[in-house]
Every structure is written in structure tokens, then in C-alpha cells.
């Protein structure tokens, strides 16, 4: 390899046009009000065994000493038992474990203190009031600890998002995905891609600067082209997957549909383990679309109960049917329910013909509508005759009444949802539309690189592409994005 090229690689990495890639050096962004020392209850509200109160900022050490006087500061990062008392009155508040984290080796990068107190409301409010009386301390805003961690380069933007998702994760799959993002996998991936672009840029710049020079190795530009082509493929794969990561974050849309009285509402109540919908023997009970968030076999889903599909009914039910059909069009997955003891009825046949069979056919872009066919009320079938329907599309037998077949249904749902949401244990997913936006921007810029007639324009396109990757991880992150992300956080985080 030509000797000067690696100097150029590093020059391109630092170059005047290159936005600094946010690694562990600090985001270059200063958290608002960052001079103050903040404090907050960081564990959950309410009565509990132990509550954790923490502070961050330059007066943390003074605050810790004020509450534990006359003792000195404990050794760094070692839990010590101390009597806490109110610095104004000297009144004892609690005997508690305290920890001292001098910056920069702390969560926020600043001096931090932690008080692990007994979780009674009076103890917690006593310690919070005592901290409030220490000069230079004020209560923290929502997300302020994390914001400071970001400002000091302790977390990248994608890691901050991972942390927000982890706090809000309600299902196992969401937790796994958030943890991976918090571990920095998405950020690492982007940084790897950015490095590839930096190298390609170095090749192009080398060509611009030294093409007259005999020393330049053959094929320098071809090398850049091939790097860009490989990157395009990788970005394309992730973008195609993008909807999955977002579904995992916000829940797949699962729509329960079928003819009247098939037991749709009974199934929704069974899956959500609460009485969401009214169940009655009267056909046409459900009219509006009823949505409920549920954890289906470890995946988050938004489950919709809909009106039974049939014709020739009054105007209110007709409106219900129209809404049901509209919801079906938006479904990520249809849970089609039929009454196993009533398969020959016109409503059942019509539903099979208009919803179930068409879903199995491929649409123009080659994909199918995902659908699980459930034959409910299997308890009404004659004993030992559960194989009555060889000519139906593949289906599962279920009884909402006895619960028989529920495990099989959950297993099938898990498979479908894993395909829809992606498996968070196989690789980092794009969890937000912001991620998608920057990857698309990067891909567009690579398209411009390929079309550029002039090498200076080609180099500029590579810089734009790299800028998008850098923005994704928070390099040059704008206030606006930060506000949106930190708004999701709770006080104390
Ligand atoms: N035997 C039996 N009855 C069931 C089962 N599931 C539901 N049912 C009964 O079937 C009737 C209709 O149930 P729903 O859940 O209201 O049916 P639906 O499909 O929501 O009905 P609409 O909202 O009117 O379209 C009720 O009387 C339920 O108790 C089952 O597995 N076995
Ligand atoms: K009903
Ligand atoms: Mg119903």
C-alpha cells in the first residue's frame, strides 16, 4: 500500500469537513444548567425496602459530607454505613449506605454521591429536603442525569435511546433489544461504517492530490468504489429491516377478525388476561375497534378487537364492519377466528373467501399478509373429531372456554411476531424513524457519489454520507433531537 495513504486516512478522519464521530470523548454538547449540582430520588416512588437518592455536580462531595458530618468523605466507590442527619438541625434522618463517585469515573462523568436509605416516604422526603438545604444543590429535571452523562461522553445518543427504551421496556424482547442498544451495538455498527467511508474518502482525496504523482498506487479509486458498494449493500439490509425494530419498540398491530359470535372478544380477553371487550351470545356485540396493548409470548403487540364481519345489518353495525375492514388493512398480523362448530354458515364461508384465502396469496411485491387461522369453540366438536377440516387452510384449534389449544396458539404467535419484529438477539435493529432517516440520507449520498462527474463532488458526497452516520450516534446532535429523546426520561434518571 502506498505509504502516504494512511496519513491521509487519519487526516480525513480529522479533516476540516469531518464532523467529529462521537466516541467516548464527550459529545461536545453542554447540558443546560450543567453548573449546578442536582439531586433526585432515582429508585421508584412509593414505599419500598431501599430507596436510592443521588446527586451529580461539583457540590456532591460537600453535600455528602454535610449529611454525614462529622465523618469524612468515604473512600471512592466503596459502600459505607453512615448516620445521615439534617445539616440545619442536626436531627438524625436514617442510618444508610452511602457511596462517593468522584468524577470522571461516575455515571454522569461529574462528582456523584448516592444515598441508599430505608424506603419509607418520611425518610426519603427528609433526605431530599436536607439535600435541598445544601447551598448549590437543586432538584434534577427529568432525564438530567443521563443528559449530563451524554454531555460528558459517557453515553452516545443511540445508547441514551437504548437506556430510555430499557426503562420503558415491558416485554422480554423489548428489554433484550434495549440492552443491546445500550451496550452500544448500533453505535458501534455506525462507527464501523463511518470508518469505511473515511477510508474511501482518503482514497479519493489521495487521487485528487497525487494523481499526477507516479507514486500513487494503481486502482486507488476502484478500491473506494468497492468499499462504497459494500456499504450500500449493508445499509440496504438494515433499512429493509427497519420496520421490524420499530415494531419491536412500539408493538406489532395484531387484529382479531371473523364472523359474528366466533369468539373474537373472548379471545382478546383471554390473550390480554383482562375483560377488555364485552362477550355475549348476541351476534353483533362488538361495534367499535377496541385496542389493548399486550405482551404476546414476550413480544409487544397492540391487539385490536373488531366487529363481526357480515352484511345486511343496521347502520351502526355496518359502520362497525367498515371500521373492522379498515383495521384489517393496517394489520401486521391477522388473527382470523371462526366458530369450529359453525364452519358451513354463510358468514363463515364468506369470511374464508374474502379474508383468509386472499391473505395466503402473494401480493405484487411478493409478500403475503400474515394470518393465523384459529378455529374456536373446539369444545363443541364431537369428542375425538378434531380433524374434521382437511380442506381448510392450515389452522389451530382452540377453546376460549376451556383454554385448550392456548399454548399452541401462543407458540404460533411467537413465531409470527419474531418474524415481524426481528430477533433482538441476532443483531442491532434500527429502533426509531430517526435512525432510518439518517441511514437513508447516507444511502442517498452514496448514490450521489456514484453519479458524481467530478472527484471533488464525489469526495463531498462521501463527507455528507459520513455526516449522517455521525448524526445517528449524536456527533453534532442538535438540541431539538436531544429534547425529544430526554423528554422520555423520568426524574432521577
Ligand atoms: N362453547 C364455547 N363458547 C364460546 C367459546 N368462546 C366464546 N364462546 C361464546 O360465544 C359467544 C360469542 O362470544 P364473543 O366473544 O362475544 O364473540 P365475538 O366474535 O366477539 O362476537 P361479536 O362481537 O358479536 O362479533 C359467547 O356466548 C361466548 O361465551 C368457546 O371456546 N367455547
Ligand atoms: K357476541
Ligand atoms: Mg365481540
31: confidence class by pLDDT, cuts 50, 70, 90: low
User: pLDDT tier at 9 (50, 70, 90 boundaries)?
Assistant: very low
| Mean of per-residue pLDDT scores for the chain | 83
How far away, in angstroms, is 317 Cα from ligand 1 center?
17
Question: Could you give phi then psi for residue 374, rounded to 5 degrees?
Answer: -115, 125
Sign of the CA dihedral running 322, 328, 331, 336: positive
Q: Indicate whether 80 and 129 sit together in one domain.
A: yes
pLDDT (0 to 100) of residue 8: 36
Q: For ligand 1, atom 9, which residue shows the shortest CA distance? A: 263
C-alpha cell at 183: 451496550
Q: How far apart are CA 303 and CA 291, in angstroms?
A: 6
> How many angstroms is it from 265 CA to the middle of ligand 1?
7
CA of 299 to the centre of ligand 2 (A): 28
pLDDT digits (tens, 9 = 90+) for 317-373: 999 999 999 999 889 999 999 999 999 999 999 999 999 999 888 777 777 789 999
ipTM of the modeled complex: 0.99
Strands 290-296 and 252-257: unpaired
- Cell numbers representing residue 51 in the block: 430507596
Q: Does the Cβ of 116 fall within 6 Å of ligand 1?
A: no
**Any atom of ligand 1 within 6 Å of the Cβ of 285:** yes
Query: Residue 268: which pLDDT band, with cuts at 50, 70 and 90?
Result: very high
Coil, strand or helix: which one is 253?
strand
Indicate if ligand 1 lies below 6 Å from the C-beta of 263: yes
229 shares a domain with 124: no
| pLDDT tier at 19, thresholds 50, 70, 90 | very low
Q: What pLDDT digit, counting tens, does each position of 70-111 carry? A: 899 999 999 999 999 999 999 999 999 999 999 999 999 999
What DSSP assignment string belongs to 323-376?
HHHHHHHH-SEEEEEEETT-TTSHHHHHHIIIIIHHHHSPPTTS----EEEEEE
Q: Tell me the CA–centroid distance for residue 258 and ligand 1, in Å.
A: 11
- Ligand 1 atom with the shortest distance to the CA of 398: 31
| 8, part of any domain | no
- Find out whether the beta carbon of 340 lies less than 6 Å from any atom of ligand 1: no
The answer as to whether 143 is a domain residue is: yes
Whether residues 452 and 399 fall in one domain: no
CA 281 / ligand 1 centre spacing (Å): 6
How far is it, in rounded angstroms, from Cα 321 to Cα 435? 37
Q: 315 and 397 in one domain?
A: yes
Residues 185 and 171 in one domain: yes
Contact between 9 and 1 under an 8 Å Cβ cutoff? The reply is: no
Mean predicted confidence (pLDDT) in 122-133: 90
Residue 432 near ligand 1, beta carbon < 6 Å: no
Q: Is the CB of 288 under 6 A from ligand 1?
A: no
As a whole number of angstroms, the distance between CA 173 and CA 176 comes to 5
Residue of the nearest CA to atom 32 in ligand 1?
377
Give yes or no: residues 258 and 404 share one domain.
yes
- Counting ligands in written order, the one closest to the CA of 257 is 1
pLDDT band at 25 (very low <50, low <70, confident <90, very high): very low
- The bound ligand whose nearest atom lies closest to the alpha carbon of 337 is 1
Residue 399, ligand 1, Cβ within 6 A: yes
pLDDT at 115 (0 to 100): 97
- Asked whether residue 230 falls in the same domain as residue 304, the answer is no
Q: Whose CA is nearest to atom 21 of ligand 1?
A: 261
- Quote the ligand 1 centre to 361 CA distance (angstroms): 29
CB under 5 Å of ion ligand 2: residues = 261, 280, 285
In a domain, 25, yes or no: no
Of 271, 323, 400, the residue with max ligand 1 atoms within 8 A of its CB, to mutate for a pocket test, comes to 400
**Ligand 1 atom index nearest CA of 308:** 25
Indicate the top mutation candidate among 261, 340, 345, 350 to test ligand 1's pocket, ranked by most ligand atoms within 8 A of CB.
261
For cell 411485491, the residue is 365
Contacts with 382 (C-beta within 8 Å, 6 or more apart), sequence order: none
On whether the CB atoms of residues 279 and 262 are closer than 8 A, the answer is no
Q: Tell me if 348 CB under 6 Å of ligand 1.
A: no
Q: Which CATH number characterizes residue 313's domain?
A: 3.40.50.300
Residue 425 within any structural domain of the chain: no
- 368 CA to centre of ligand 3 in angstroms: 26
Any idea of the CA torsion for 212, 213, 214, 219, to the nearest 10 degrees?
-70
Q: Same structural domain for residues 257 and 178?
A: no
288 Cα: distance to centroid of ligand 3 (angstroms) = 9
Residue 18 lies in a domain: no
Tell me how far the alpha carbon of residue 286 lies from the centroid of ligand 3, in angstroms.
4
Residue nearest to atom 12 of ligand 1 (CA): 261
Whether a cis peptide bond, with omega within 30° of 0, leads into 70 is yes
Asked whether residue 305 falls in the same domain as residue 448, the answer is no
- Check whether residue 399 and residue 259 sit in a common domain: yes
**C-alpha cell read off for 448:** 450521489
Task: Identify whether the C-beta of residue 273 lies closer than 8 Å to the C-beta of residue 295.
Answer: no
What is the domain count for the chain? 3
- Distance of alpha carbon 483 from alpha carbon 493, whole angstroms: 15
> Rounded to whole angstroms, how far apart are CA atoms 386 and 371?
21
Ligand 1 touching residue 74 (CB < 6 A): no
Residues 148 and 42 in one domain: yes
Are 256 and 403 contained in the same domain? yes
Residues 287, 285: Cα–Cα separation, whole Å = 6
Of the three residues 103, 135, 152, the one that is the final residue of a domain is 152
Contact 256, 305 (CB under 8 A): yes
Residue 322 located in a structural domain: yes
**Ligand 1 lined by 306 (C-beta under 6 Å):** no
State residue 294 phi and psi, 5-degree precision.
Answer: -140, 160
Last residue of a domain, one of 420, 455, 481: 420
442: domain CATH number is: 1.20.120.430
What is the span of the domain harbouring residue 377? Answer: 252-274+290-420
Beta strands 396-397 and 371-376, pairing class:
parallel
For residue 368, being part of any structural domain is answered with yes
Assess if residue 64 is contained within a domain: yes
CA angle 108, 114, 115 (to 5 degrees): 160
How far is 394 from 375, CA to CA, in rounded Å? 10
Question: Strand 333-339 vs strand 252-257: parallel, antiparallel, or unpaired?
Answer: parallel
**Of 134, 152, 170, which residue constitutes the final position of a domain?**
152
Q: What is the pLDDT of residue 481?
A: 55
Amino acid at each position: 500500500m502506498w505509504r502516504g495513504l494512511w496519513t491521509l486516512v487519519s487526516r480525513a478522519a480529522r479533516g476540516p469537513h469531518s464532523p467529529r464521530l462521537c466516541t467516548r470523548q464527550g459529545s461536545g454538547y453542554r447540558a443546560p444548567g450543567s453548573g449546578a449540582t442536582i439531586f433526585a430520588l432515582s429508585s421508584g416512588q412509593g414505599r419500598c425496602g431501599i430507596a436510592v437518592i443521588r446527586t451529580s455536580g461539583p457540590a456532591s462531595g460537600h453535600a455528602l459530607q454535610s449529611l454525614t458530618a462529622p465523618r469524612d468523605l468515604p473512600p471512592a466507590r466503596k459502600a459505607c454505613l453512615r448516620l445521615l442527619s439534617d445539616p440545619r438541625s442536626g436531627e438524625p434522618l436514617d442510618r444508610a449506605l452511602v457511596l462517593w463517585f468522584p468524577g470522571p469515573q461516575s455515571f454522569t462523568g461529574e462528582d456523584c454521591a448516592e444515598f441508599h436509605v430505608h424506603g419509607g416516604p418520611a425518610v426519603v422526603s427528609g433526605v431530599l429536603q436536607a439535600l435541598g438545604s445544601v447551598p448549590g444543590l437543586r432538584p434534577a429535571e427529568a432525564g438530567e442525569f443521563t443528559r449530563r452523562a451524554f454531555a460528558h461522553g459517557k453515553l452516545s445518543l443511540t445508547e441514551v435511546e437504548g437506556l430510555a427504551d430499557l426503562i420503558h421496556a415491558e416485554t422480554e424482547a423489548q428489554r433484550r433489544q434495549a440492552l443491546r442498544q445500550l451496550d452500544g451495538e448500533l453505535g458501534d455498527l455506525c462507527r464501523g461504517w463511518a470508518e469505511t467511508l473515511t477510508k474511501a474518502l482518503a482514497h479519493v482525496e489521495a487521487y485528487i492530490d497525487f494523481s499526477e504523482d507516479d507514486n500513487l498506487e494503481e486502482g486507488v479509486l476502484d478500491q473506494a468504489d468497492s468499499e462504497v458498494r459494500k456499504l450500500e449493500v449493508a445499509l440496504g439490509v438494515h433499512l429493509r429491516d427497519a420496520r421490524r425494530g420499530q415494531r419491536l419498540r412500539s408493538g406489532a398491530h395484531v387484529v382479531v377478525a371473523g364472523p359474528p359470535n366466533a369468539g373474537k372478544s373472548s379471545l382478546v380477553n383471554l390473550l390480554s388476561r383482562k375483560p377488555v371487550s364485552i362477550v355475549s351470545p348476541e351476534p353483533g356485540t362488538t361495534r367499535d375497534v377496541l385496542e389493548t396493548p399486550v405482551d404476546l409470548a414476550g413480544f409487544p403487540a397492540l391487539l385490536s378487537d373488531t366487529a363481526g364481519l357480515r352484511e345486511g345489518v343496521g347502520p351502526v353495525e355496518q359502520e362497525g364492519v367498515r371500521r373492522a375492514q379498515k383495521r384489517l388493512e393496517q394489520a401486521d398480523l391477522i388473527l382470523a377466528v371462526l366458530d369450529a362448530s359453525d364452519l358451513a354458515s354463510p358468514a363463515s364461508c364468506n369470511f374464508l373467501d374474502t379474508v383468509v384465502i386472499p391473505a395466503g396469496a402473494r401480493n405484487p411485491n411478493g409478500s403475503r399478509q400474515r394470518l393465523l387461522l384459529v378455529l374456536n369453540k373446539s369444545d363443541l366438536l364431537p369428542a375425538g373429531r378434531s380433524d374434521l377440516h382437511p380442506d381448510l387452510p392450515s389452522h389451530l384449534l382452540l377453546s376460549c372456554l376451556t383454554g385448550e389449544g392456548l399454548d399452541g396458539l401462543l407458540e404460533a404467535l411467537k413465531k409470527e411476531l419474531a418474524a415481524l419484529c426481528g430477533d433482538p438477539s441476532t443483531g442491532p435493529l434500527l429502533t426509531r424513524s430517526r435512525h432510518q432517516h439518517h441511514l437513508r440520507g447516507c444511502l442517498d449520498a452514496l448514490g450521489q457519489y456514484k453519479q458524481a462527474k467530478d472527484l471533488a463532488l464525489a469526495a463531498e458526497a462521501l463527507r455528507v454520507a459520513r455526516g449522517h452516520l455521525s448524526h445517528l450516534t449524536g456527533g453534532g446532535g442538535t438540541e431539538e433531537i436531544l429534547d425529544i429523546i430526554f423528554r422520555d426520561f423520568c426524574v432521577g434518571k
